[in-house]
Amino acid sequence: MISLRSPFGWVLRLMAVLTFIYLLGPLFVIVAASFSDTGYLAFPPQGFSLRWYRQALGDVRYLNGFFVSLRLAGTVAVLSLVIGTAAAVALTRFRFPGRALLEAIFLSPLVLPGLVLAVALTLFYAAHPVAPPGLPRLIISHLLVGVPLVLRVMLPVLKRVDPALEEAAQNLGAPPLQAFFLVTLPALKPGLFAAAALAFIFSFDEVEMALFLGSARDAPLTVVLYGAAQMQMDPTVAAVSAMLILLALILMVAQQAYANR
Amino acid sequence: MHASARRGLVAAGLLAPAALVFALLFVWPQLGLFLQSMPAGAPLAQYERFLGDSYYLGVLGNSLLLGLCVTLVTLVLGFPLAFLLARAETRWAGLLLLLTSFPLWVSAVVRSFAWMVLFFRNGVASRLLQSTGLVESNFQLIGTFAGVVIALAQVLLPIMIVTLYAVIRGIDRDLEHAAMSLGASPVVALWLVTIRLARGGILAGSLLVFSLSVSAFATPSLVGGARAHFMAVTIYEQTLELLDWPFAAAIAAILLAISISVALTYGRLLGDAKEQAR
Amino acid sequence: MTTVSPELVLEGLARRYGSTTAVARMDLAVKPGELVALLGPSGCGKTTTLRMVAGFVEPSEGRILLRGRDITTMPPHKRDTGMVFQSYALFPHLTVAENIAFGLQRRGVPKPEAAERVARMVALLQLQGLEKRLPKQLSGGQQQRVAVGRALVINPAVVLLDEPFSNLDALLREGTRIELRRLQTELGLTTLFVTHDQAEAMAISDRIAVMNKGRLEQLGTPREVYDRPATRFVASFIGRANLFVSTDGQHSEDGIALGAPGPGTWLLRPEKIALDAAPAAGPGSVAGTVEVVSFLGTGAQAVLRLPGGRALLVEGPAALADLRPGAPATARWTRPDLTLIPGEN
């Protein structure tokens, strides 16, 4: 181990601490500013008030946006989980030619720019309206990233589960499907939770496809926030942001708690 | 039915939904994008328009420069933190790693807005700069290239750290011990052993961050404001505001080509890095 | 002579993967209550054979009969086999008792009866007090016993053991295999047992099926395969072997005065050879130089380098270890010590 007591170690440490502040400081700033008692965004905050929270929670656009996002992310998480896990099972439990290539292809939307996907989908739907505009269109579009996210989590999890478990269950009299549900699925549980959380948070946070494909009536929260942030430095945006940070924190802690159970 | 044929059917059935999503929402639209960027009669007109206009070339250059700057910043800031996290022996390391990746759970819109709060005329960061006297008294970081770099680097930093962390964890720390027992100072050991071995991973992380910055949308458009001349913002304007779809498709295709070439290199490098760490 | 109809029959069973043959037309009949070991080096096809019986690998040709019923194309869960996996494959989210009860539940055994049978199995395997534990809270030996109990509690027509001792340390292994053999004889379980360890196969099998490169080389009792190996491979895989090829019986190809009754490939086991200091005289003796001696506790081993260049392995009493490396010595044997290997003619 490179000694942390050496001068070099101290330089490394100092850089790490500054990086940490740079990384998390802005989130702290926004939470602090949301409590400010001023009519404009102020940091350090002046006074303490919850008026911006009251304003945010009373604003139909934010409320509506939140529930749209919730419906969007919830549906995307469930669908991605089912579709992605099924594909992951096929890719790990069956042997067929081109399996590795198929895996790479399925994961490829993750490394391509979200905006390009969004533009291509916009042009696609204009020519082929395969789904009603608004939320349904956005939901199926988010699957394009949600499914690969689930695959990326579930593939290594499935590879770690001993295939002999399912064989043992079959040997003891369980038909293949029953063997999967009785034995493999319980072993996958922590992975499933993490995968669903990831797909949920992606869909909840995503803005590019939402801007391109969502309708004004069903605008997800990120789109409402994006619009509001462009207009003016409104403390209400800070209050909504702070609540979203809290939500992310809760989700992350829940996921960790579940994984370490 | 033959058992192997039945297994084949089951596998196909399990793969079908994902394949459908992929074919319908990825292959088809991406092909459509290319087709739309090349209208009959003048297939290359849109590309000539982009590459022949100094304004658009400037946008491309701006985005590439942004990618370069953000990659450098995240690498320089990310490596020390990733190294310490990977080598730390306390049980706090796990918590710290979790906190490092926490920003990934928060929407880029929220994170960009946080920087807007710091960057606007009366924001802490802008006032700090004003007080140094280096800039005018009404200076604000919003709308500046530097502002976009600072904000986007923070947005993408967790990705760099997580990538580097995984690579450094894969390097046997006894190699550093061995180098030092043979007389290398810690700095030299880090340089000759760790960084040398992590090279593939460092490149892979850099390419990933580069690709994401070149095509980033939310942060450049919010922090960069009205004067944000970046690729993604331009595509957005052409698609939703100017409705010039063939041109938007051509710009998107150029951006896609950059991302794909970066992604292919990235995949190869990450494979090599895993090979080397073994 | 009474004929017992066999419990498990493999008829011309074969498995090919593309152009490679994993198992080539194998015939085997296991009698009720018999323990047959499938023995061979890795890649010899023994595990593939076992997995075909369990139903996890489809045979390319041939038939499998269990209690007279053709089960060749039957799915695994309908076959009446109880398998102990090399990795044990204990269900990680189920307790010891739940693991053992798993097969009974699948068979719809009423709860009270199932509980009683689980309790009996727990007692039989000395797992009392561990019923509520999860597999990861058990030692390796305990896990192995749970895996055995889970396979036996359903009273399968045949028990399949896939290297069940390979994950135990050497000390535990011997005790466990004796224990398993005792259980198997007591309960009269028909058992097919895969192993690559010849000592293990010798110790607990009624008969051994020695396999090599997908072929069944010899099927016989441990004594038969040791004393009368059918092929060169069997001779050298089971125990240690000095092999001589001779065209006239008098001398081997490399000029040793063999003294065999006829031509062929001859096996001379190391423990049949005596060493002394007198000069070599006539057939059944050869002089050489002691190269290595090793003391083995119950006896000793020596390598004698012969003038022609070949080495002769000798095993004998502990006194053998007193020989000095470099000393001259003569190896002696008699005609009955030589065994003809029929498969090589």
DSSP calls for C111-156: HHHHHHHHHHHHHHTT-TT-TT--GGGS-HHHHHHHHHHHHHTT--
pLDDT given for residue B216 in this prediction: 86
Cβ <8 Å between B110 and A140: no
Residue C16 neighbours by CB distance under 10 Å: 14
Of the given ranges (B61-65, B267-271, C206-210, C288-292), which has the lowest mean pLDDT?
Answer: B267-271
Cβ <8 Å between C85 and A167: yes
Of the given ranges (A240-249, B168-177, B228-237), which has the lowest mean pLDDT?
Answer: B168-177
- The tens digit of pLDDT for each residue in C256-289 reads 888 888 888 999 999 999 888 888 888 888 989 9
Greater pLDDT, B275 or B209: B209
Take residue B29 and report the two structure tokens written for it.
């639209």
- The tens digit of pLDDT for each residue in B36-79 reads 888 777 778 788 888 888 888 888 888 899 999 999 999 999 98
- H helix or E strand, kind and range, residue B74: helix B54-87
Residue A125 pLDDT greater than 90, yes or no = no
- Which residue is associated with the tokens 């053991």? C161
- The tens digit of pLDDT for each residue in C8-50 reads 999 999 999 888 889 999 999 999 999 999 999 988 999 999 9
- How many angstroms away from the CA of B143 is the closest CA of chain A? 12
Nearest residue, CB atoms, A207 vs list B100, B105, B108: B108
Please indicate, yes or no, if residue A44 is contained in any of the structural domains. Answer: no
> Sign of the C-alpha dihedral, residues B179, B184, B190, B196?
negative
Distance CA B141, CA B127 (A): 10
Whether the Cβ atoms of residue A32 and residue A46 lie closer than 8 Å to each other: no
Q: Mean pLDDT of all residues in chain C? A: 90
Q: What are phi and psi of C93, to 5 degrees?
A: -95, 0
Residue C233 neighbours by CB distance under 10 Å: 22
Task: Kindly report the CATH number assigned to the domain that includes residue A131.
Answer: 1.10.3720.10
Nearest residue, CB atoms, C89 vs list A168, A173, A186: A168
Distance CA A67, CA A73 (A): 10
Cβ <8 Å between C106 and A174: yes
- The tens digit of pLDDT for each residue in C290-303 reads 999 888 888 899 99
Distance CA C24, CA C49 (A): 10
Greater pLDDT, C218 or B278: C218
If you average pLDDT over residues C321-330, what whole number do you get? Answer: 87
In chain C, where the domains are located? 8-234, 253-344
**CATH classification code of C253-344:** 2.40.50.100
Nearest residue, CB atoms, B84 vs list A3, A13, A109: A13
Which residues contact residue C341 at a Cβ distance below 8 angstroms, ignoring those fewer than 6 apart?
Answer: C229, C230, C231, C232, C235, C243, C264, C265, C266, C267
Domain count, chain A: 1
Nearest residue, CB atoms, C106 vs list A167, A173, A187: A173
pLDDT given for residue B2 in this prediction: 62
Cβ <8 Å between B4 and C58: yes
Q: For residues C55, A157, B12 and A145, what is the CA-based torsion angle, rounded to 10 degrees?
A: 180
List the 4-63 stretch of B: residues with Cβ below 8 A of C: 4
Cβ <8 Å between B109 and A225: yes
- How many angstroms away from the CA of A41 is the closest CA of chain B? 7
pLDDT given for residue C1 in this prediction: 45
pLDDT given for residue B273 in this prediction: 56
Residues of C in contact with A183 (CB under 8 A): 91
Take residue B147 and report the two structure tokens written for it.
């502002």
Residues of B in contact with C73 (CB under 8 A): 3
Cβ <8 Å between C91 and A162: no
- H helix or E strand, kind and range, residue A122: helix A114-127
- The tens digit of pLDDT for each residue in A222-231 reads 888 888 888 7
In chain B, where the domains are located? 48-277
Q: Mean pLDDT of all residues in chain A? A: 85
Residue A90 pLDDT greater than 70, yes or no = yes
Percent share of chain B, pLDDT over 90: 6
Angle at A24 between CA A22 and CA A25, to 5 degrees: 65
Residue in chain A closest to B224 (alpha carbons) equals: A230
Greater pLDDT, C254 or C89: C89
pLDDT given for residue A11 in this prediction: 83
> Sign of the C-alpha dihedral, residues A169, A172, A175, A176?
positive
Contact with chain C for residue A174, Cβ under 8 A: yes
Confidence grade of residue B185 (pLDDT, cut at 50, 70, 90): confident
Inter-helix orientation angle A135-160/A114-127, to 10°: 130
Q: Which residues span the domain enclosing A79?
A: 59-260
Give burial (CB, 10 Å; 0-12/13-18/19+) of C58: middle
Residues of A in contact with B87 (CB under 8 A): 1-2
Q: What is the DSSP string of B177-193?
A: HHHHHTT--HHHHIIII
Confidence grade of residue C2 (pLDDT, cut at 50, 70, 90): low
Residue B278 pLDDT greater than 50, yes or no = no
Residue in chain C closest to B4 (alpha carbons) equals: C58
Cβ <8 Å between C54 and A183: no
Residues of C in contact with B3 (CB under 8 A): 58, 73, 75
Residue in chain C closest to A167 (alpha carbons) equals: C56
Take residue B196 and report the two structure tokens written for it.
């040398």
Q: Mean pLDDT of all residues in chain B? A: 81
Residues of C in contact with A176 (CB under 8 A): 75, 77
Report the DSSP pairing between strands C8-17 and C20-30: antiparallel
Residue B147 pLDDT greater than 90, yes or no = no
Q: How many CB pairs under 8 A join B and C?
A: 4
Cβ <8 Å between B18 and A2: no
Whether the Cβ atoms of residue C272 and residue C227 lie closer than 8 Å to each other: no
Please indicate, yes or no, if residue A36 is contained in any of the structural domains. Answer: no
Q: For residues C93, C97, C101 and C105, what is the CA-based torsion angle, rounded to 10 degrees?
A: -60
Contact with chain C for residue A181, Cβ under 8 A: no
Residue in chain A closest to C106 (alpha carbons) equals: A173
Please indicate, yes or no, if residue A122 is contained in any of the structural domains. Answer: yes
Contact with chain A for residue C76, Cβ under 8 A: yes
Residue B183 neighbours by CB distance under 10 Å: 8
Cβ <8 Å between B109 and A207: yes
Residue C149 pLDDT greater than 80, yes or no = yes
- How many angstroms away from the CA of A129 is the closest CA of chain B? 12
Report the DSSP pairing between strands C191-195 and C35-39: parallel
Distance CA C34, CA C158 (A): 10
- The tens digit of pLDDT for each residue in C179-197 reads 899 999 998 999 999 999 9
Percent share of chain C, pLDDT over 70: 99
Q: For residues C246, C251, C254 and C257, what is the CA-based torsion angle, rounded to 10 degrees?
A: 140
pLDDT given for residue B276 in this prediction: 54
Contact with chain B for residue C73, Cβ under 8 A: yes
Report the DSSP pairing between strands C207-212 and C215-220: antiparallel
If you average pLDDT over residues C233-249, what whole number do you get? Answer: 89
Residue B235 pLDDT greater than 60, yes or no = yes
Return the bridge partners of C293, or none.
Answer: C302
pLDDT given for residue C26 in this prediction: 92
Q: Which of B227, B216, B217, B215 is nearest to B254 (CA)?
A: B215
Q: Hey, which CATH number is domain B48-277, 1.20.1250.20, 1.10.3720.10, 1.10.630.10, 3.40.50.1220?
A: 1.10.3720.10
Question: What one-character DSSP code corresponds to residue A32?
Answer: H
Cβ <8 Å between A167 and C89: yes
Distance CA B95, CA C164 (A): 41
Cβ <8 Å between C91 and A165: yes
Nearest residue, CB atoms, B215 vs list A116, A143, A249: A116
Cβ <8 Å between A94 and B249: no
Please indicate, yes or no, if residue A252 is contained in any of the structural domains. Answer: yes
pLDDT given for residue C283 in this prediction: 86
- Which residue is associated with the tokens 């990746």? B101
Three-state secondary structure string covering C244-277: EEECCCCECCCCCECCCCCCEEEEECHHHCEEEC
Contact with chain C for residue A168, Cβ under 8 A: yes
If you average pLDDT over residues B88-105, what whole number do you get? Answer: 82
pLDDT given for residue A126 in this prediction: 85
Residue in chain B closest to A22 (alpha carbons) equals: B154
Fold of C8-234: Rossmann fold (3.40.50)
In Å, how far are A124, A138, A141, B27, C267 from A127, measured between CA atoms?
A: 5, 16, 15, 15, 82
If you average pLDDT over residues C242-265, what whole number do you get? Answer: 86
Greater pLDDT, A240 or B269: A240
Q: What is the DSSP string of A137-174?
A: HHHHHHHHHHHHHHHHHHHHHHHHS-HHHHHHHHHTT-
- The tens digit of pLDDT for each residue in C105-115 reads 999 999 999 99
Residue A1 pLDDT greater than 50, yes or no = no
Distance CA C123, CA C137 (A): 19
Residue A62 neighbours by CB distance under 10 Å: 21
Q: What are phi and psi of A152, to 5 degrees?
A: -65, -35
